[in-house]
A and B are shown apart, each in its own frame.
Chain A
Amino acid sequence: MEIVITFKLTHNAMKAKRKVLFDKLSAEIIPTPREISKECGFSLLFHDSTSEDVRDYLDTNELKFSKIYLRAVVEGERKYEENN
């Protein structure tokens, strides 16, 4: 499942990205999807993971983040579901 992580600060997003890059995870930095926020910002997209694994990973590595979203394609459209 695709997981999108949002951040309050650009610095936090870049720090988390450095870590996932270092750990060679299948994740990339993307512009925060419009469906989630109109504000300019970076998010992290994990290509194939679960919200639990991503949450664990971020917590274990003390990476600050804002919200976790599950991304799925429903009838040809991307849907984002907040996961708390």
Chain B
Amino acid sequence: MKKTIDTSGQACPKPVLMTKDALVENIDELVVVVDNPAAKENVSRFATKQGHTIKNIKDVGTKFEITILKGGNKEETEISAEEFNCAVLPSKGKTIFLSKNKVGEGDDELGQNLMKAFIYSLIEVKNTPSTIVFMNSAVRLCVEGAEALPNLQKLAESGVEMLVCGTCLNFFGIAEKLRVGNVSNMYDIATLLTSENTLTI
């Protein structure tokens, strides 16, 4: 008897657990549909380890169909998430909170150059932030003529979300000069800053 189970959308190690349960049933052949390479590896490895045979693995669009010939009769083993390398989902990048248009205190011109250089380097680093929040004088970085603007626009194009404090733009009278990012409010910003992995500059 043949059975098919679909593990699409199931988080690791669920596909392995579903496979294990299905293999207990009275069947000869089990087809396991998985929707990612990690699950393909884990299910195949589990089945082989249990003494079953992998008949074939078919690529079906974005999914894989693993056909297992039941044959194993090994003792039940515990399945742990660790054993099946449940990859941690790549975490969302950091939120960077810029509360001024310079880095640190001491000398304004130095601080502004450091900020400019910092933003340039964000384009180059591996873990680009997911969001940058601009408040108080930091909103000046996002307006027409700002030195950092071209690099912020590059970051925005690469998918970095930018939230710019509307109150601050209004205060400095530069709202109509905004050239990058979305005008945001304190509720959205507070929600983000209290729920995300935030770095304050």
Verify that A and B bind, or say they do not: yes
- Residue pair A28, B116 in contact (C-beta under 8 Å): yes
Give 1 or 0 for each of B135-172: 1 = CB within 8 Å of chain A CB. 00000000000010011000000000000000000000
Count of chain B residues with a beta carbon within 8 Å of a chain A beta carbon: 11
B150 contact set on A, CB distance < 8 A? 28
- Taking CB as reference atom, which chain A residue is nearest B116? A29
Given contacts A10-B110, A14-B110, contact A42 B147 (CB under 8 A): no
- Residue pair A30, B120 in contact (C-beta under 8 Å): yes
State the CA gap A16–B118 with chains docked (Å).
Answer: 19
Q: Of the candidates A10, A13, A28, A31, which one forms a contact with B147 in the assembled complex, judged by CB atoms under 8 Å apart?
A: A28
- Residue pair A42, B113 in contact (C-beta under 8 Å): yes
Q: Which of B110, B117, B118 has the most CB of A within 10 A?
A: B117
- Residue pair B109, A42 in contact (C-beta under 8 Å): no
Give 1 or 0 for each of B109-127: 1 = CB within 8 Å of chain A CB. 1100100111011000000
- Taking CB as reference atom, which chain B residue is nearest A13? B113
- Taking CB as reference atom, which chain A residue is nearest B118? A31
Given contacts A21-B147, A28-B147, contact A14 B117 (CB under 8 A): no
- Distance in Å: Cβ of A71 to nearest Cβ of chain B: 13
- Distance in Å: Cβ of A3 to nearest Cβ of chain B: 16
State the CA gap A17–B118 with chains docked (Å).
Answer: 16
B residues whose Cβ falls under 8 Å from a Cβ of A = 109-110, 113, 116-118, 120-121, 147, 150-151
Other than A31-B118, A42-B117, give 6 A-B pairs with Cβ distance below 8 A: A14-B109, A28-B116, A29-B120, A30-B117, A31-B117, A31-B121
The 7 closest A-B pairs by CB, nearest first: A31-B117, A30-B120, A31-B121, A29-B113, A29-B116, A14-B113, A30-B117
